[in-house]
Structure formats: structure tokens, C-alpha cells
Amino acid sequence: MSSRLPPRSPSSDPYLHTRRLTPRDRLLLSWLAEHYLLSTRQVTKALFPSDRSARLRLTLLHRIAAVDRFVDTSAAGSTQYLYALGPLGLRLHRDAYHDPDSPAAKPPRSSRDRADRIVGSRKLRHLLGVNDFFTDLLAHARTHPLARLERWWSEQHATDAYGGAGVQPDGHGVWTVGDTTVGFFLEHDNGTEPLGRVLAKLRAYERVTEFGPRYPVLFWVPSQGRERNLLDALAGTSARMPMATAVHGTDPAGPVWTLTSDADRLRRLHELPSDHGPYAATNPNRFVRRDTEPPTEQVAHTPL
């Protein structure tokens, strides 16, 4: 009787299809691990030259179980897909953030369990709005060779880094154009919170400036009326960090930002004042103190 073992069935290897993943695919999976989900439109503008090429690639990634997808039913009339990590993607990112509503919740039993938590999250529209902001920056960088998004952190990642000061931004990024680098904290505003509650968040950002960077706080608001009201409210505050406002639907990299301390002209994102803090003087490539960073860092670069 032969002692040779029969060849293993390819289907028994859960990592079989990793060889089909391109660097762009792996970048997308790292974003889905960090930011929970992205829409077809967001993936397209951040990574692909056309809708068709994005759909074809996303279909393949779904077939090899790198991503899960579900129809966006949270917006009236929407038929686009939303994408999250599939079984293969979750195997490659076992430390992925897994619950936007309860960061301390137990890890999911499967990629489907994780996707169910995301699609059922009360933050779903908010997550998509925040991710719209950052994928707009990535889209801008694809057509402007001197621009790049050095860092794209989710709310959970930024809270892990700066939560000791009480900060819980909706996102944190580092944006470079040429030789100018600006860090920022994003407050994505849907106009549902009273302005007093929005202003109360500034105290925590003040505490960050005591040990770390003085990055501008960006208030990304849904309408010009909301922006005017917010600017009026901010005019009476004094803060060590810069604050700026702009309206949804504009290019966040462009000349759309009103700096509260000098509201006479609109500024581009990279023109906003930004101080990386005392730690940057000895290690300028890290932007924040090492002891404020979580163990792993997701840095978003746009592939060529």
C-alpha cells in the first residue's frame, strides 16, 4: 500500500487566492480593515480610472471572498454596493476594527458577522460621509502629482491615539502638497447636533495642544447656513488650535476653507496653519508622539 499522501484539494487552502491580489487590492483591503466599508463610488474615485474597471475588479474580489458586499439600502433610491472585508480579507487583517458602535465588543465570529454589525450600525451614513471626505482627497491626489494623503485614520484609530485627552474626532489625516504638510482632525457635521454640543468638543482638542500637535480642526458641514451659524458661534471662542469650516460637496483639497481667525479669504487645505508639535522636531516623519500611537499604523498612499 502506498504511503504517499493524496494531493490536497485547492479548495481546502483558505489563502489560495492571495496570489491573485495586486498591491492595489491589498491597499483597498487595508482601508476596509481600518474604515469598515466603502461604496463603489468611493473605491472608484480613490483607486480606478473608470467605473467599469472598478466594478470588474470588485466583482473578482467578491468572487474570491476577499470582500463582502451588500446593497446600500440606507439611502433612498440607492442601488450601489457597499463593500466590507470578506473571509479572505479578514484572515489577512485579523486586527481589523470590527464594530463601529461598540469598539470594546467581542471580535466577530466571521466576516459575515462583522459585515452585519457594520450594515446595521447607527453610524452607517456618518461613516460613509467621513469616508467620502478622505476618498475625495485621494481622488484629488490621483490627478495632482504633488499632492498625497500621508495618513488616513478612522475615528477609532484617532481615538486610540489621542483619546487620553478626551478627543474623539471623526477622522485624522496628514495631507502634503509639495513641501507643505498639514495635519488635521475632521469633525464631519450632519447638522443634527446643537451647536453647543459641537463647541464642547473643542476643550479636548485644547488638551491635545498641551503635549502634541496643534492641528486644525476641520468642521465639514452640510450647508452654507449651518456654516454661517457655526462661524458666528466660533467667533467668540479663543483656542490654541486653528479651526476651519467648509461645506459638503466641495473638493476638500481646494480653496474652500474658512479659517475662523481670518475669515476674509478661502484657503486650500494645505494652506491652513499646522504645527506638528515638539516631537516632530526630532522625528519629523511620524507627526505625533510615539507613546500616543496604537501598535499599528495604516498609512494611505495612492498607487501609481
Which CATH number does the domain housing residue 57 bear? 1.10.10.10
Whether 129 and 108 share a structural domain: no
Q: Show which of 76, 94, 121 is a domain's final residue.
A: 121
Whether 82 and 226 share a structural domain: no
pTM: 0.87
Answer whether 97's CB lies under 8 Å from 36's CB: yes
How distant is the alpha carbon of residue 128 from its chain centre?
9
d(CA 148, CA 97): 24
**CB-side exposure of 294: number of CA atoms within 13 Å?**
19
Which residues have a Cβ under 8 Å from the Cβ of 68 and sit 6 or more positions away? 62, 83, 84, 85, 86, 111, 112, 115
- Confidence band (pLDDT; 50, 70, 90) for 280? low
Range 250-269 average pLDDT: 96
Number of domains comprising the chain: 2
- How many other C-beta atoms are found inside a 10 Å radius of the C-beta of residue 293? 16
Whether 22 and 105 share a structural domain: yes
Which residues have a Cβ under 8 Å from the Cβ of 273 and sit 6 or more positions away? 214, 216, 242, 259
Per-residue pLDDT tens over the stretch 180-235:
999 999 999 998 889 988 888 999 999 998 888 999 999 999 999 999 999 999 98
The dihedral sign for the CA sequence 182, 136, 188, 238: positive
Largest Cα–Cα separation, the chain:
88
Backbone torsions φ then ψ of 232, nearest 5 degrees = -60, -40
Per-residue pLDDT tens over the stretch 71-124:
987 666 667 899 999 999 999 999 999 999 999 899 999 999 999 999 999 999
Whether 183 and 234 share a structural domain: yes
Residue 75: closest CA among 137, 133, 135, 127? 127
Output the pLDDT for position 7: 56
Output the pLDDT for position 291: 36
Q: In terms of residue numbers, what domain contains 215?
A: 125-292
Whether 186 and 256 share a structural domain: yes
- Confidence band (pLDDT; 50, 70, 90) for 240? confident
Q: Show which of 121, 154, 185 is a domain's final residue.
A: 121
Q: Show which of 100, 121, 142 is a domain's final residue.
A: 121
Say whether pLDDT at 304 is over 70. no
Whether 191 and 51 share a structural domain: no
d(CA 227, CA 25): 37
Range 135-155 average pLDDT: 97
Residue type, 227: E
Residue 70: closest CA among 110, 126, 62? 62
Say whether pLDDT at 127 is over 60. yes
**Is residue 219 one of the residues assigned to a domain?**
yes
